[in-house]
Structure 1
Amino acid sequence: MNINFYNKIFIITFFVYGFSLTNCPSTTSEDYGDCEMALGWTWSGEDCIFISGCSSVTNWGDDYTEYIFNSYEECFTICQVENHFGDVNFDGSLNIVDIVIIISYIIGNNELTYNQIYIGDYNEDGFLNVVDIVSLVNIILNGLDSRDTWEIISEDIIEPNCAAACHESGTFFAEQTELILTSDVAYNQLINRIPQNESAWADGLVLLSSVGGQPAEIQSYLWEKINLPNRDHFYDDHPHYGEIMPLGGPYLTNGELAYIQEWIHSGAPETGIVADESLLIDETVWEAPPFNPLELPENGVQFHLGPFDIWDGYEREVFSYQPIGNEDYLYINQYEILLSPGSHHMILYTYPENITTDDFPSECEFLADVFPPPDYELRDLHDENGVYDIQSICYMGLQTFFAGTQWPYMNYHFPPGVALKVPPNFGVDINSHFLNYSGNSPSGEIYGNIYFVNPEEVQHVADIFMLNNRDFNLPANQTTTITRNFMFPEQFTTGFLENGGVSNIDEIYIFQLFSHAHERMDKFDVKLIGGLNDNQTIYTALDWEHPPILELNPPLVLQYGMGLKLEVTYTNETNHDITFGLLGVNEMMILFGHYYTD
Structure 2
Amino acid sequence: MPSLSGVCPPRSGWRVRAAGMLVVLSACSGGDAGGTAVAPLADGTFARIQRTIIEPSCAGCHRSGSSGARQSGLVLSADSSYQQMLNVPSVHPRARADGLPRIRPFRADSSLLYHKLAWIPGHHSADYGNLMPMGTTQGLSMGQLEYVRRWIEAGAPRTGHVVDTTILRDARLQVASFTPLAPPAPGAGLQLTVDSFPVPPRNERELFLYRTLGNREALYVSRIESRMRPGSHHLLLYTFDESRTTFPCNLRPPANVVRDLRTAEGIPIAVNMLPMACHVFFAGAMTPEFDYRFPPGVALRLPPNAAIDLNVHYVNTSPAPFPGQAAANLYTVDRSAVRIEARTLNLANTSFTLPPGQRTTVRTAFPVASRTTILALTSHMHALGERFEIRVRRAGGAETVVYTNTDWEHPAFQQFATPLVLEPGDALVSVVTWNNVTDRTVRFGLLSSDEMDIIFGYAVQ
TM-score range, shorter chain: 0.5 to 0.7
Shift of 1:256: 7.1
3-state SS of 2:241 partner: coil
* One-letter amino acid of the structure 1 residue matched with residue 114 of structure 2: T
Deviation at 1:254, TM superposition (A): 7.9
Determine the structure 2 residue equivalent to 1:595: 459
| Structure 2: 5+ residue stretches without partners | 1-34, 37-43, 56-86, 116-123, 127-175
Superposition pairs of residues 362-511 of structure 1, within 5 angstroms = 364=248, 368=250, 371-489=251-369, 506-511=370-375
**1:438-486 deviation line (CA, Å, top 9, x unaligned):** 2344321111111101112112110012110011111111111111112
Aligned partner of 2:429 in structure 1 is: 565
The CA distance in 2 between the partners of 1:297 and 1:515, in whole Å, is 28
Which structure shows the higher helix fraction? 1
- Using the TM superposition, name which of 285-294 and 312-321 deviates more: 285-294
Residue type of the partner of 2:422?
L
Structure 1 residue 277, shift from structure 2 partner: 8.1
Secondary structure of 1:284 counterpart: helix
Note if contact 1:254-1:283 (Cα within 8 Å) is conserved in structure 2.
no
Distance 1:373-1:280 versus aligned 2 partners, 3 A rule: closer
Residue 440 (structure 2) aligned to one of 565, 570, 576: 576
> What CA distance in whole angstroms lies between the structure 1 residues aligned with 2:308 and 2:189?
14
Q: CA deviation at 1:280?
A: 4.5
Q: CA deviation at 1:342?
A: 1.5
Are residue 549 (structure 1) and residue 438 (structure 2) matched? no
Specify which structure has the higher proportion of strand.
2
1:390 corresponds to which letter in structure 2?
Answer: A
Q: CA deviation at 1:434?
A: 1.1
Tell me the residue number matched to 2:379. 515
Amino acid of the structure 2 residue aligned with 1:404: G
If asked which structure has higher relative contact order (CA below 8 Å, sep 6+), I would say 2
In 2: Cα distance, 1:278 partner to 1:421 partner: 47
> What amino acid maps onto 1:583 in structure 2?
L
Identity of aligned residues (%): 33
Alignment of 1:77-116 (within 5 A): 107-108=49-50
The whole-number CA distance in structure 1 between the counterparts of 2:108 and 2:305 is 59
CA contact (8 A) 1:310 1:441 kept: yes
- Counting only pairs closer than 5 Å after superposition, residues 268-287 of structure 1 correspond to structure 2 as 280=110, 283-285=113-115, 286-287=124-125
Residues 1:295 and 2:133 aligned together = no
Distance in 1 between residues matched to 2:427 and 2:420, nearest whole Å: 11
Amino acid at match of 2:276: M
How far has the Cα of 1:516 moved from its partner?
0.6
What is the alpha-carbon distance in structure 2 between the residues aligned to residue 536 and residue 283 of structure 1?
34
Deviation, structure 1 residue 339: 0.7
Check the 8 A contact 2:202/2:318 in 1, yes or no: yes
TM-score w.r.t. the length of structure 1 is 0.51
Distance in structure 1 (CA, Å) of the matches to 2:446 and 2:191: 27
The amino acid of 1:333's aligned partner reads S
Partner residue of 2:233?
Answer: 344
Secondary structure in structure 2 of the residue aligned to 1:467: strand
8 A Cα contact 2:395 2:425, kept in partner? no
Q: Within 1, Cα distance between the matches of 2:268 and 2:193? A: 24
The whole-number CA distance in structure 2 between the counterparts of 1:428 and 1:594 is 18
| Structure-2 residue corresponding to 1:175 | none
Gaps of 5+ in 1: 1-88, 91-101, 112-151, 162-244, 260-275, 490-505
1:470-510: per-residue Cα shift (whole Å, max 9, x none)?
A: 11111111111111112122xxxxxxxxxxxxxxxx30111
Q: Is the 8 A contact 1:306 1:446 kept in 2?
A: yes
The answer to whether structure 1 residue 527 and structure 2 residue 402 are counterparts is no
Q: Which has the greater radius of gyration?
A: 1
Counterparts of 1:198-209 in structure 2, within 5 Å, are none
Amino acid at match of 2:125: E
User: Paired residues, what number?
Assistant: 326
